[in-house]
Structure 1
Amino acid sequence: MPSKKMKRSLCTAVAAGVLSLTVAGLPAASAGADPVVNNATQALERLADLSRESERTTEALHNAQIDLDGKQAAQRDAEARLAADRAAVADAQSRMDQFRPTVSKLVAASYQGARTNRLFAVMVSDSPQQLLDQMSALDAISSETARAVAQFKQATTDAESAENASRASADAARSATEQARSVSDGLQSKQSDLQKQIDEVTKAFDRLTGAERAQLAGATFPPGVDAGSILANLAPGSGSAALEAGLTQVGKPYSWGATGPDAYDCSGLVVWAFKQIGKSLPRSSQAQAQAGTPVDRSQLQPGDVVIFYDDASHVGIYAGNGNVLHASTYGTPVKVDSMASMPFNTARRY
């Protein structure tokens, strides 16, 4: 759930405008729903709670999809290896068939009393040349047969071993895919439940005046800061270029699961900004917290990706002077905010 600091910050921003909203002006909750929201301040707090939890769920959904995609790719690779190993077995069997006539003749000759060793060649030879011819033939038969058998055994052993291993990998990959899909389905169900709760609360906000909604949204930049002042202090770099791209989206609305260009969630904005400079970042805030190069908070530079909360469920782009560009939460647009209102987790440089 959100920190008390976050809730106080959100509530303070709209207190003057929303305290005039009366109980009679709010819709009643349905039977079995959450407790009735009986004033605008409670509505704001409830929405803040639901939005924070919903963002956690959204980012977890993104992370589950990344996991699912990885497991499905592993499954495809395992099945491709399995097909290759089966082809290797078939090739080995084909090569065995090539040498089978030689082996069969040798076996038949031995069964019928033929002698295929050098002593027998000496005993039945009528001349030195015949001896050499017979010994050469015996050597050829022995060598060819031994080679055929050895090649077949080695190829068959290797291919069958690879096939068994690959089959096990394919089975494991399929099992992992099913597990990942189950996780994703569960999170989507939770997200659906949260959306229903959010819908109940947002009905109250539909009654706010335009001025009250503007007060809720707040300023898109901290006092004394604007896009021009941020851009004037940027040093060349890929992160700086991503921040510059992201600043063009200030004012766009927040929407769960959105990646622009009309609306964004937190990780969606970061993905979009870096995509504009040709860099592909992971889709979830948790994955973004694991990639890139770690950066100490004291060494932050504009354009670094900053992750917040213990579960790494919120992310933005550092804008300098302790500020961050982010798609913050429901009801507020993409903006530049002070980082002080959110618990710092880690930072990454891409």
Structure 2
Amino acid sequence: MGSHRRSPVSPRALTGQGARVTVLSAAFATAATTLAAAPAGAAPPERPERARAEVRRLYTEAERATQAYNGAGEKARTLRTALSRTQDRMARTQDRVNALREALAPVAGAQYRSGGLDPALMLLLSADPDGYLDQATTLERMGVVGEQRLRGLRDARRTLDQERREADALLGELERSRRTLARHKDTVRQRLARAKALLAALPEGERALDARASRSGRPDAGLPPTGAAASPHAAAALATARTALGSPYVWGANGPSRFDCSGLIQWSYARAGVGLPRTSQAQAGAGRRIPLSEARPGDLVVYRADASHIGLYAGGGRVIHAPYPGAPVRYDPVGMMPVSSVTRV
């Protein structure tokens, strides 16, 4: 018998090609319009510090949308896996239904040769025998073996109907997840396009958000971790994160050469043999909460009240993290922004 796996469901609504083109086109149009509003040489509409503050705000909003995008992507992957498993079960159940129908064929033939085919059996072998199956008296005409096969067919058909309903529900949820992904992607692109336009409107020497943002190479790569790590896998994760120093920030990326904040954490711990969720919010709950004063190298430091940013404690009052577009993976002071929690994995 061949594979039970059905060919992948690819309804037009799930491919989302048109939706993705629309989202990307809208984002690029937004960026082009914004950039066109600030031609080269034009006087900046705001003082540099106010413009940089607005860029920071836009980056914060983009990072929140990025974590929402990451979460929606993880959910979509889970749904696709569940749908694939349901389709496999449906294929196996359909094979069982077919086998039981074939097994009942000799019963039908025997009845026909002995004086005519029972109308009830004819109904059973049709597309929808369930209505008749509730009339148990007719089962007596089929004998014990026939009755068992008949009941088995009824159960298999009901299982198949249930699996079809589950698949339909998963398809609907997957479509909603696709729309959520597109919405968050659009938000990220719009915020980043606006931030890029604001920076482009500033004089060249005023565009960096901080002195380290424009450094090349591997910032602070020579600084060793300070203190004993929280565990062997925490030490391994920190060592892995150090190899990413200098790698660019790219929203939605989780390695091996580009990262967003939670992508760096997930990648570093995965290389240490520990699976962590994709979003900073989920990572914050992936271990035991400890006070910041007890943080040790390899612990997760979570920022902002909504846990939309995360870094890896490196000891000595520093974290390794992927900061924002234009700033590579680097060390920063642990108190660079409000700490909401510290998690030991």
CA deviation digits over 1:237-274, x for unaligned, max 9?
A: 10111112212333434332333454422112212322
How far apart, in 1, do the equivalents of 2:338 and 2:308 lie?
11
Displacement after TM superposition at 1:328 (Å): 1.7
Letter in 2 for 1:78: T
The partner residue of 1:180 within 167, 177, 180 is 177
Identity over the aligned pairs, expressed in percent? Answer: 27
How far apart, in 1, do the equivalents of 2:169 and 2:300 lie?
35
How far apart, in 2, do the equivalents of 1:45 and 1:213 lie?
11
SS at match of 1:227: coil
Q: Work out whether 1:89 is the aligned partner of 2:85.
A: no
Letter in 2 for 1:38: E
How far apart, in 1, do the equivalents of 2:267 and 2:203 lie?
30
| Contact 1:43–1:204 (Cα < 8 Å) also in 2 | no
Q: Work out whether 1:227 is the aligned partner of 2:235.
A: no
Question: Aligned in 2, Cα 1:205/1:244: closer, same or farther, shift over 3 Å?
Answer: farther
For 1:334, the equivalent position in structure 2 comes to 329
Deviates more, 1:142-151 or 1:329-338: 142-151
The partner residue of 2:278 within 280, 283, 296 is 283
The partner residue of 1:147 within 144, 166, 176 is 144
Question: Aligned in 2, Cα 1:95/1:328: closer, same or farther, shift over 3 Å?
Answer: same
| Contact 1:309–1:344 (Cα < 8 Å) also in 2 | yes
Displacement after TM superposition at 1:170 (Å): 0.6
Letter in 2 for 1:294: R
How far apart, in 2, do the equivalents of 1:210 and 1:314 lie?
23
Displacement after TM superposition at 1:154 (Å): 1.4
For 2:290, the equivalent position in structure 1 comes to 296
For 1:65, the equivalent position in structure 2 comes to 73
Question: Aligned in 2, Cα 1:61/1:274: closer, same or farther, shift over 3 Å?
Answer: same
* Structure 1 residues 210-221: aligned runs within 5 Å: 214=211
| Contact 2:219–2:246 (Cα < 8 Å) also in 1 | yes
Runs of at least 5 residues in structure 2 that lack an aligned partner in the other structure: 1-34, 119-138
Question: Aligned in 2, Cα 1:165/1:348: closer, same or farther, shift over 3 Å?
Answer: farther
| Contact 1:29–1:36 (Cα < 8 Å) also in 2 | no
For 1:316, the equivalent position in structure 2 comes to 311
How big is the alpha-carbon RMSD for the aligned residues of Structure 1 and Structure 2?
3.5
For 2:16, the equivalent position in structure 1 comes to none
The partner residue of 2:239 within 219, 225, 244 is 244
CA deviation digits over 1:23-46, x for unaligned, max 9?
A: xxxx99449xxx954221112101
Runs of at least 5 residues in structure 1 that lack an aligned partner in the other structure: 1-26, 111-141
**Structure possessing the higher radius of gyration over alpha carbons:** 1
Displacement after TM superposition at 1:107 (Å): 5.4
SS at match of 1:306: strand
Letter in 1 for 2:147: A
SS at match of 2:205: coil
Question: Aligned in 2, Cα 1:195/1:97: closer, same or farther, shift over 3 Å?
Answer: same
How far apart, in 1, do the equivalents of 2:323 and 2:245 lie?
11
How far apart, in 2, do the equivalents of 1:159 and 1:258 lie?
44
SS at match of 1:53: helix
Deviates more, 1:169-178 or 1:275-284: 275-284
Q: Work out whether 1:307 is the aligned partner of 2:315.
A: no
For 1:22, the equivalent position in structure 2 comes to none
Q: How many residues align structurally?
A: 285
Displacement after TM superposition at 1:143 (Å): 10
Displacement after TM superposition at 1:302 (Å): 1.8
How far apart, in 1, do the equivalents of 2:331 and 2:306 lie?
22
The partner residue of 2:155 within 154, 158, 162 is 158
